[in-house]
Structure 1
Amino acid sequence: MTMWVFGYGSLLWNPGFEVDAQQVGVMHGYARSFCMRSIHHRGTSEHPGLVLALDETKDARCKGVALRVKAGAEPETLAYLRERELISSAYLEKNLDVHLSSGEVIKAVTYVIDPDHVQYCHLDLEEQAQVIARAVGDRGPNTDYLHNTAGHLVELGIEDGDLNWLSARVKALCS
């Protein structure tokens, strides 16, 4: 059976597994948001950063990329993703519908925020920029995560006004 993974953040530029094909797609009912405090990859317990998550929101839609896993690599890919994405249990793993640009609807492994988890947060854009500008975790500066994601969305032709604003604001804060 074909395995798809929905990328909306770092999976866009660092999937970490062999991708057989990819296609832009839309997931309904979820919004891309810096609503998860990062205490591992892009921050620490003492100085959390922020990472993107899909926040369940009525009438929202998130445009991202469906990544088809190379045939035969499904078990190790799923194990890898669980180790990477479920590090603190703030994400929930779900198989959700993605509407591909080809018109096809597929099920994709997707990591969404658990709104009851302690790492879940809602900050306004300026607060997000202030956190991202100074946070660093074991995978590097939070700024790298933001700029890589925003840049790849632009390359893919995916408009995300909030990420574009955040990227420009964080660059200004860091200069």
Structure 2
Amino acid sequence: MWLFGYGSLTWKVDFPYKQRVVGYIKGYSRRFWQASVDHRGVPGRPGRVVTLVGSENPEAQVWGAAYEILPQHEAEVTKKLNIREQRFDTRLEMTMYDAEDQKLPHPVMVFVGTSQKELFLGDAPLETLAKQISECHGPSGPNYEYLFQLAKFMRMEVPEAKDEHLFQLEKAVKNILLNINVKFVSSS
């Protein structure tokens, strides 16, 4: 089994895997449109995490990391992910491409939160997203840490990749935090 992560699974892996491949899927955009009431926010004050939304551009890319899960670990990893990724109501099998634009010979499983689920928040103005992310905190830590770690993954692993939504949001959140004098570790 291969699992593709495009959010916290790019930088917070808490399961055994054989190998990790950085690459992308096509036809989607990564957006902070999913509520988190169990990790980066709480009920009544949800944080925001990423989900995938279809793109009008079939060549649009969402970069992430895929993990090969050995058969003897599939049940354990699936059980753990069913809890960790419970806010995502859909699992899709997708084609992934590596950094050299080569199609992987196997599909990857991807967790996606769709608009059919109550935790799907949808789009909002950049300022609204930034304010919510800068203010929310959950059992896994501040919501902005999630954003900064994802931006750091992109800068370190695929610096040539474009993710305008991610980097504009990161800049807006950092500006808010600086204005209220919050200390954070830079992801740059």
User: What's the secondary structure of 1:72's corresponding residue?
Assistant: helix
TM-superposed CA distance for 1:91, in Å, is 3.2
Q: CA RMSD in A?
A: 1.7
TM-superposed CA distance for 1:71, in Å, is 4.9
Kindly tell me: are residues 15 and 132 of structure 1, through their superposed partners in 2, closer, same or farther at Cα, counting changes over 3 Å? same
Corresponding position of 2:27: 29
Structure with the bigger percentage of strand: 1
Aligned residues: 171
Corresponding position of 1:163: 166
Corresponding position of 1:111: 111
What runs of 5+ residues in structure 1 fail to find an aligned partner? Answer: none
Conserved 8 A contact 2:2-2:69: yes
TM-superposed CA distance for 1:134, in Å, is 0.1
Corresponding position of 1:49: 47
Deviations 1:104-138 (A, max 9, x none): 33311101122122221211222111110000111
User: What's the secondary structure of 1:15's corresponding residue?
Assistant: coil
TM-score, length basis structure 1: 0.89
TM-score, length basis structure 2: 0.83
What runs of 5+ residues in structure 2 fail to find an aligned partner? Answer: 179-188
Consecutive aligned runs of 4 or more in structure 1 exceeding 6 Å deviation: none
Conserved 8 A contact 1:66-1:100: no
TM-superposed CA distance for 1:57, in Å, is 2.8
Deviates more, 1:54-63 or 1:107-116: 54-63
Q: Taking every aligned residue pair, what percent have the same amino acid on both sides? A: 29
